[in-house]
Amino acid sequence: MGIIKAKDIVFEYIRRDEEGNVEGITRAVDDVSLDIEKGEFIAILGHNGSGKSTLAKHMNALLYPTEGTLWVDGKDTADAANTWDIRQSAGMVFQNPDNQIIGSIVEEDVGFGPENMGVPTDEIWERVGESLKAVGMYEYRKHSPNRLSGGQKQRVAIAGVVAMHPKCIIMDEPTAMLDPNGRKEVIRAARALNDVEKVTVILITHYMDEVIHADKVFVMDKGKVVMQGTPREIFSRVEELKELRLDVPQVTLLAYELKKAGLHLPDGILNTEELVKELWELS
Ligand code: ADP
Ligand code: MG
């Protein structure tokens, strides 16, 4: 079994009026099965309302399925006795870094998680140092988080999760509120955690350029996983992505248009170097 495994999960939000009568039901996750292996970098794509955040909250036992089963590191999230272990195995990073940072000094903030877990003080400081180094924020350890840029704050929030030594980190649109520089910093940090620290990363995003390095991509629509594969496999399916109202990386789209116009190019070109190489070989 992988680090995260979902079997036929359904999640319904139920709206009730003041008397408690059911007013409406939204099926936000609709029969999803997936298996994520330890050490993978997973990207989840999908337009607004497709169920990404609802699915992500299942991976941290913030929600549990209405139907079906989800296991984190082999533990059933529906069993309340597992919640503590699951939250330690699977850390969560959200969109808005301001809501996640509580300390008045960077290193204190990063230490809160391990402190709550009962980690001995010496080890907390060790973990704080390592985590800040892993996200490239060690030089800012004595700074006030208020003075940092959005990308820096988000990296501090990530360090706070890393300091708890989770097996996987789920990032729900961590770059949505950042400028292009901040986005790059956060994605670089996420990739380093995966490459160097071997943390399983699940990145939810709607920026296509952030998924091209993933091992595997899941595309969601109306609560279902409608496509899954490597970035190259997914981005070869340009028409389907357009139907799902998703963009394709610009260079992939250009290659696709050139191919439609008659050039012999392979599907799923992911970066400029690949396109240049292919065009060079044509000439
Ligand atoms: P995404 O993260 O892909 O934008 P969400 O998981 O937030 O999607 O939402 C999936 C569906 O569930 C949407 O139709 C949304 O309106 C609905 N939804 C999300 N959160 C709630 C909630 N707390 N109560 C009721 N409906 C919700
Ligand atoms: Mg969301």
The domain segmentation of the chain, as residue ranges, is: 4-248
pLDDT band at 208 (very low <50, low <70, confident <90, very high): confident
Domain 4-248 indexed as CATH 1.10.150.20: no
Cβ of 49 closer than 6 Å to ligand 1, yes or no, is yes
Looking at residue 75, its pLDDT comes to 97
User: In this model, does residue 250 exceed pLDDT 90?
Assistant: no
Residue ID of nearest Cα to ligand 1 atom 27? 13
If one residue of 9, 11, 12, 13 were mutated to test the ligand 1 pocket, choosing by the most ligand atoms within 8 A of its CB, it would be 13
| 213-246 per-position pLDDT tens digit | 999 999 999 999 999 999 999 998 999 999 998 9
CA 156–ligand 1 middle distance (angstroms): 27
CA 3–ligand 2 middle distance (angstroms): 22
Looking at residue 151, its pLDDT comes to 94
User: In this model, does residue 31 exceed pLDDT 80?
Assistant: yes
Looking at residue 266, its pLDDT comes to 87
Looking at residue 233, its pLDDT comes to 93
Give the ligand at the shortest distance from the Cα of 223: 1
Rounded Cα gap, residues 228 and 87, in angstroms: 26
CA 205–ligand 2 middle distance (angstroms): 9
Please give, one letter per residue, the 3-state secondary structure of the chain: CCCEEEEEEEEEEEEECCCCCEEEEEEEEEEEEEEECCCCEEEEECCCCCCHHHHHHHCCCCCCCCEEEEEECCEECCCHHHHHHHHHHEEEECCCHHHCCCCCCHHHHHHHHHHHCCCCHHHHHHHHHHHHHHCCCHHHCCCCHHHCCHHHHHHHHHHHHHCCCCCEEEEECCCCCCCHHHHHHHHHHHHHHHHCCCCEEEEECCCHHHCCCCCEEEEEECCEEEEEECHHHHHCCHHHHHHCCCCCCHHHHHHHHHHHCCCCCCCCCCCHHHHHHHHHHHC
Residue partners of 90: CB distance under 8 A and separation at least 6: 4, 59, 60, 61, 72, 73, 166, 167, 168, 169, 170
CA 224–ligand 2 middle distance (angstroms): 14
Give the ligand at the shortest distance from the Cα of 24: 1
Looking at residue 130, its pLDDT comes to 94
pLDDT band at 269 (very low <50, low <70, confident <90, very high): confident
Looking at residue 26, its pLDDT comes to 96
Give the ligand at the shortest distance from the Cα of 62: 1
Residues with CB under 5 A from ligand 2 (ion): 52-53
Average pLDDT over residues 129-151: 94
Average pLDDT over residues 243-257: 88
Distances (CA, A) of 253 to 107, 219, 250: 43, 18, 5
| 34-53 per-position pLDDT tens digit | 999 999 999 999 999 999 99
| 81-129 per-position pLDDT tens digit | 999 999 999 999 999 988 888 899 999 999 999 999 999 999 999 999 9
CA 13–ligand 1 middle distance (angstroms): 8
